[in-house]
Amino acid sequence: MSLNTDLETGVRPANAVTLQGERTLRSKPPTTLTSAQNLLSLTGARSHRVLQQALLDLLGGHLQADEVWLVSGSPRVGSPDGAAWHEPEEACEVCLWQADMPQILPVSRRLLPPWVGSRLLPDSDPEAAATVSGYWTCTVDLSAIGLASCLIGRGKPLSHSERSNIEALLAIYLNVYQLLDDAGTDVLTGLPNRRSFDQRLPDLLQQPPMAPALQGDRRSDPEPGDHWLAMIDVDHFKRVNDEHGHAQGDAVLQWIARILRCSFRQGDAVFRIGGEEFVVLLNGLTRAQAERALHRFRQTVADTDFPSVGRVTLSIGVVRAVPESAADVLLARADEALYTAKRAGRNRLQLR
């Protein structure tokens, strides 16, 4: 008798393996959305984009969908005094998976079709939802981490078990996303750190140019916009620490991070890469527009009275960034421009 024979009934299952090595055809159990293999593809992701791709591949493939929209957002980011730095939608990410395209597409919130936004975003027009049928929504809200919603396009509604599995995957996605955020976030300021900069730079440089939409700016320049990388350094920051203490120095960095968040657009990216150095990657601006935006930011900081410290200034080095640029090369070029600004007297911008 085979060891695989049921000891009570004496019946050997059809997919059993005998002692003599005889093998019957073992039917492969159908994988579910929440199988161990699929969960591994999510928890093994080492970047946000890989995580999003893995989630949408799972949802689209297993549900036999034509397309899947994913919207995920983090809770409000607080300033040192508890006030909100920005509205939740500024932290909202939108991705689109389509059955006939291997790579997901990041989608600007401003370009989101109304009928998609009406299903996924709480502040959109609910009447637009009626314009397109055949789409089914699942949402998970983990208040301390964030919210994720997916809109699945296919011919039949989601079953109860499918919906439960999707919600479980979205919860896992949010938790892994938060872990990646924690690893890539500067603890003091809440900005993305150098690790995040190195990981995200290739994707950021591949993004198409976006409209300027900068305060006080108008798109009068005929030439298309470029990506610009600005390295920002706090002037005489050692003196701030020596004269006022490290706690006040930390407060200055927190407030500069707050001003950074408020001074640039959703499609721009800001980082703290170490010490008193920050980086901004501007998307879709001409040289003149990039200079104006960065000068406004520099002047805003220079006009700020920092509690217990007084006035602080910044020096900024700026270079144009192209898609094939390596992070180390870009930072080295921006650093050269920065120290040209320092040698010229500080509190100024040098663009190369």
Residues annotated as catalytic (active site), given as ranges: 276
Cα dihedral: 326, 193, 106, 40 (round 10): 100
CA distance linking residue 70 with residue 95, whole number of Å: 5
CA distance linking residue 128 with residue 131, whole number of Å: 6
Q: Are 280 and 318 in contact (CB under 8 A)?
A: no
How many whole angstroms from its chain centre is CA 249?
A: 28
List residues bridging with 149 in a β-sheet: 71, 139
Tokens of 185: 């976030």
The Cβ of residue 75 has, within 10 Å, a number of other Cβ atoms equal to: 15
Tokens of 139: 């949402």
